[in-house]
Structure 1
Amino acid sequence: MTIVIAAGGTGGHLYPAVALAREFLRRDPSAKIVFVGTTKGIESKVLAHERFPLELITAKPVMGKGLGEALRGLLSVPIGIWQSWRILGAHKADLVIGVGGYTSPTMLAAAALRGIARVILEPNAYPGMANIAVGPLAQRVFLAFDSAADKFAKSKVRVVGTPIRQDFLRDTTRPEPSATGDPQRLLIFGGSQGAKAINSAVIDSLAPLMQKLPKLSITHQTGEADHARVAEAYRQAGVQAEVVPFLYDMPRVLRGADLVVARSGAMTIAELTACGKPAILIPLPTAIYNHQMMNARAMEAAGGAVVLPQPELTGAQLARTIADILQQPDRLRRMQDKSRGMRRIEAAETIVRECYALMGVNHDHNRTVGAAGA
Structure 2
Amino acid sequence: MINQKKIIICGGKTGGHIFPGIAIAQALIKKDKNIKILFVGTGELFETKIFNKYGFNHKKISAKGIKGKSFKKKFKSILNIPISIFQAIKIIKHFKSDFVIGVGGYSSGSVVLAAKLLGITTAIQEQNSIPGLTNKILARFVNVIFTSFKDTRGFSKKKNQIFTGNPLRKSTNTDITDFKLNPENFTILIIGGSQGAESINKAFLNAIKLIDKPEQYNVIHQTGKLDEKIVISKYKKTKINWHAKAFFYNMPTLQNMADLIISRAGALTISEITLRGKPCILIPYPYAADDHQKFNANALVKKGGAWMILDKELSGEVLKEKIEFGKNNPDKLLNMGKAAKNLSMDNADEKIADTILKMIKKAN
TM superposition score normalised by structure 1: 0.90
After superposition, residues 277-316 of structure 1 pair within 5 angstroms as 277-316=278-317
User: What is the CA distance between 1:49 and its match in structure 2?
Assistant: 1.4
After superposition, residues 10-25 of structure 1 pair within 5 angstroms as 10-25=14-29
User: What is the CA distance between 1:75 and its match in structure 2?
Assistant: 1.4
Does the 8 A contact of 2:127 with 2:268 survive in 1? yes
The amino acid across from 2:123 in the alignment is V
Does the 8 A contact of 1:212 with 1:323 survive in 2? no
Quick check: 1:317 aligned with 2:324?
Answer: no
Query: Quick one: which of 175, 189, 192 aligns to 1:190?
Result: 192
Query: 2: CA distance between counterparts of 1:321 and 1:49?
Result: 36
Match of 2:204 in 1: 202
The amino acid across from 1:244 in the alignment is K
Aligned to 1:360, the other structure's residue is in SS state helix
Moved more, 141-150 or 256-265: 141-150
Structure 2 gap segments, 5+ residues each: 177-181
Moved more, 10-19 or 348-357: 348-357
Match of 1:120 in 2: 124
Does the 8 A contact of 1:8 with 1:41 survive in 2? no
Does the 8 A contact of 2:171 with 2:250 survive in 1? no
Does the 8 A contact of 2:185 with 2:217 survive in 1? yes
Quick check: 1:74 aligned with 2:83?
Answer: no
Match of 1:27 in 2: 31
Does the 8 A contact of 1:19 with 1:165 survive in 2? yes
Query: 1: CA distance between counterparts of 2:198 and 2:247?
Result: 14
After superposition, residues 1-374 of structure 1 pair within 5 angstroms as 1-40=5-44, 42-167=46-171, 182-209=184-211, 211-360=212-361
User: What is the CA distance between 1:184 and its match in structure 2?
Assistant: 2.1
Aligned to 2:216, the other structure's residue is in SS state coil
After the TM superposition, which segments of 4 or more aligned residues of structure 1 sit over 4 Å from their partners?
Answer: none
User: What is the CA distance between 1:138 and its match in structure 2?
Assistant: 0.6
Query: 1: CA distance between counterparts of 2:141 and 2:270?
Result: 29
Aligned to 1:35, the other structure's residue is in SS state strand
Match of 1:365 in 2: none
Query: 2: CA distance between counterparts of 1:329 and 1:150?
Result: 39
Query: 2: CA distance between counterparts of 1:149 and 1:331?
Result: 32
User: What is the CA distance between 1:270 and its match in structure 2?
Assistant: 0.2
Query: 1: CA distance between counterparts of 2:46 and 2:275?
Result: 24
Residues matched between the structures, number: 354
Change (3 A) 1:262 1:219: same
Query: 1: CA distance between counterparts of 2:219 and 2:165?
Result: 30
Aligned to 1:243, the other structure's residue is in SS state strand
Aligned to 2:124, the other structure's residue is in SS state strand
Does the 8 A contact of 1:24 with 1:352 survive in 2? yes
Aligned to 1:59, the other structure's residue is in SS state coil
User: What is the CA distance between 1:149 and its match in structure 2?
Assistant: 5.0
The amino acid across from 1:86 in the alignment is K
Residues 173-211 of structure 1 deviation map (CA, whole Å, 9 limit, x = unaligned): 99xxxxx962221100110000000000011011222x2
Aligned to 2:159, the other structure's residue is in SS state helix
User: What is the CA distance between 1:232 and its match in structure 2?
Assistant: 1.0
Residues 308-334 of structure 1 deviation map (CA, whole Å, 9 limit, x = unaligned): 111111102211211111222211211
Aligned to 2:184, the other structure's residue is in SS state coil
Does the 8 A contact of 1:213 with 1:323 survive in 2? no
Aligned to 2:236, the other structure's residue is in SS state helix
Change (3 A) 1:137 1:83: same
Residues 316-359 of structure 1 deviation map (CA, whole Å, 9 limit, x = unaligned): 22112111112222112112211111101132222112112222
Does the 8 A contact of 2:215 with 2:241 survive in 1? no
